[in-house]
Structure 1
């Protein structure tokens, strides 16, 4: 891609000439002169300069869209050429939530890196909605999602399931009321919650007076939580809302309230919490590895999908 295109795209990304100049290691006057030259050649301005952050003109929108297409083609070319040298070289940018990056990906990444040491790995962390947009913008190669019945055009490969539990501090009175349903950390670690004879609460109705720590809107588990409460015909007591599942779990462990968590998060035996299996279809989440259907699927992408599918195959 031409240097001036890189300059203009960086200004678009940064929202200002000064920030773009810093990112490009240029002086601001030098950057301004380079972009003014392009604008003079096409006969139209690319940016509305009296807006903060800068906004694109109509010509700027067309220009940036074409730059994105060029970047996409260059990325596809690089991937296909890299594949000619097998997996001795290459790169892979993965996008995951805090939960996935902390609990699901580490063993797979370790195995993958040992098997393909020449592939450069990059891990991006954001919300699931943000990651889908980043995939659409070709900023990441793969991400993970558990949207039921997705209506997008992404490639999806099922990799594992997790089970949503209600986690409650041991000191809460609800544990006495539901003692026949209560599971310990050891039960979860040994996957007792997956056994057919494991007791499951039929609804969340008994939790009407229990304060909850919920995720914020936009999180898949928030939508599921709302549906579970609606089915139980209760208006939950919401003590806090946080953006990350891992944060919610840590707050629950400190005694602040109850929360919905994944069974994959219970990694050690302790007596601080009690866990409840929920007898509801929404309490089981199917996770897919997601890639863009518009793009060439590189060898590193294929190898990683194969690695994670193989590792979590028993949990599908």
Structure 2
């Protein structure tokens, strides 16, 4: 057994599929299948139930997955520490970002960072907040940006830097288009273009609709802001977006209306794992962004 057996095993569980894990790891599916089989043969147990989709852990798999993650994390920490010494404080940052941050707030910050730290490589992965949090937790991401306060505050350090109330966006010919403010109950009969389920805002919007006494009628789930706005501009449904984004729309095409209190706030936070070693590159990024946000 070597560390790659455990890394591949954890990636298969994370992706729920041998083929998806192989694609993520840039190896062939037969190779990853063989590695998992070798691990099972060495341990003398079946770790993964291959007869269901997505794949499931067996009892034996459940028993070792946490230990496997701890071993992989220890090896990753050792590798990063050595990299700091060997590479003379050059490095790479694996940064998980939700599309809302990636498309509006983050690019200027990343541009400024790159001017000051040209030897540090930034690897961005676009996920919903739930998957970003999971990636920071299991070590596949160094740092993440999420659209809410992290759920495991005993596990993560975090820096909150934006609070922006969501607005509903609708077509100019919609019956509610002339409202100055809107209640969630007013959207009872509307078709929603909603964020995907791996987004924390998906849960917040569902909960607010539930409090208003209805389940949202969802016609589409997406991670792409542009697709959301196109659906609304075609008068196919309504969507919820942060106020700063809504202020950019041409009211002849899309109308944005604020909610009455209580509002849903988009709260962007930078998160990192409390107990995982942070590379020089990751520490520099956090310090740089912290100073940039304080100045702003």
Shorter-chain TM-score range: 0.7 to 0.9
1:261 pairs with 241, 247, 257, which one?
241
Larger radius of gyration: 1
1:240 equivalent to 2:219? Answer yes
Conserved 8 A contact 2:132-2:146 = no
List per-residue Cα deviations over 1:180-200 (Å, max 9, x = no partner).
x2xxxxxxxxxxxxxxxxxxx
List per-residue Cα deviations over 1:14-58 (Å, max 9, x = no partner).
4669x86x9557986xx57x938x946x6x346569757887676
- 1:173 maps to 175
1:312 shift after superposition: 4.0
Q: Which runs of 5+ in 1 are unaligned?
A: 182-200
1:222 equivalent to 2:220? Answer no
Alignment coverage as a number of residue pairs: 285
List per-residue Cα deviations over 1:117-149 (Å, max 9, x = no partner).
111211112221122112211110111224358
List per-residue Cα deviations over 1:267-306 (Å, max 9, x = no partner).
7452211111223243323221111111123332232223
Distance 1:16 1:175 in 2: 48
- 1:119 maps to 120
1:104 equivalent to 2:85? Answer no
SS in 1 for 2:276: coil
Distance 1:254 1:292 in 2: 42
SS in 2 for 1:133: helix
1:103 shift after superposition: 1.7
1:94 shift after superposition: 0.6
Conserved 8 A contact 2:99-2:127 = yes
- 1:292 maps to 273
Distance 1:88 1:216, change over 3 A: closer
1:158 equivalent to 2:137? Answer no
Conserved 8 A contact 2:128-2:200 = no
Distance 2:241 2:123 in 1: 27
1:276 equivalent to 2:274? Answer no
Q: Which runs of 5+ in 2 are unaligned?
A: none
- 1:10 maps to 8
1:155 shift after superposition: 0.7
Distance 1:23 1:84, change over 3 A: closer
1:75 shift after superposition: 1.9
Distance 1:52 1:227, change over 3 A: closer
Distance 1:16 1:228 in 2: 37
SS in 1 for 2:263: helix
Conserved 8 A contact 1:170-1:273 = yes
Distance 1:123 1:145 in 2: 14
Distance 1:51 1:257, change over 3 A: closer
Distance 1:27 1:100, change over 3 A: closer
1:5 shift after superposition: 3.8
- 1:184 maps to none
SS in 2 for 1:282: coil
161-170 vs 56-65, which deviates more? 56-65
List per-residue Cα deviations over 1:71-105 (Å, max 9, x = no partner).
21222123333445797411110111222222221
RMSD over aligned CA atoms reads 3.9
